[in-house]
């Protein structure tokens, strides 16, 4: 069975970026192709911070985009 391509978006603090890089590595290790653009992905993972109002707003805007 073909694994679905995944695209990752990291929003917020540097900790989110590190967490996203870990998820990228784990996904690649498990054989999931990493998409270079959202339109090439079967699934999109948005890693964001939900504690700060501005971060929540940015996350919602990105998801709607």
pTM for the model: 0.78
User: 50, 47, 12: which is closest to 27 by C-alpha?
Assistant: 47
Confidence category of residue 39, pLDDT binned at 50, 70, 90:
very high
Confidence category of residue 64, pLDDT binned at 50, 70, 90:
confident
pLDDT at residue 13, as a whole number? 80
User: 37, 43, 48, 36: which is closest to 6 by C-alpha?
Assistant: 43
What would the pLDDT profile of 48-62 be if each residue is shown by its tens digit? 877 677 777 777 888
Q: What's the average model confidence in pLDDT over 22-35?
A: 96
Cβ–Cβ < 8 Å for 59, 50: yes
pLDDT at residue 21, as a whole number? 96
State both tokens at 54: 């501005």
């Amino acid at each position: 069975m073909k694994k679905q391509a995944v695209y990752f978006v990291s929003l917020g603090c540097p900790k989110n970026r590190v967490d996203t890089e870990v998820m990228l590595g784990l996904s690649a290790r498990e054989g999931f192709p990493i998409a270079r653009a959202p339109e090439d992905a079967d699934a999109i993972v948005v890693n964001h911070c939900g504690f700060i109002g501005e971060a929540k707003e940015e996350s919602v805007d990105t998801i709607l985009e």
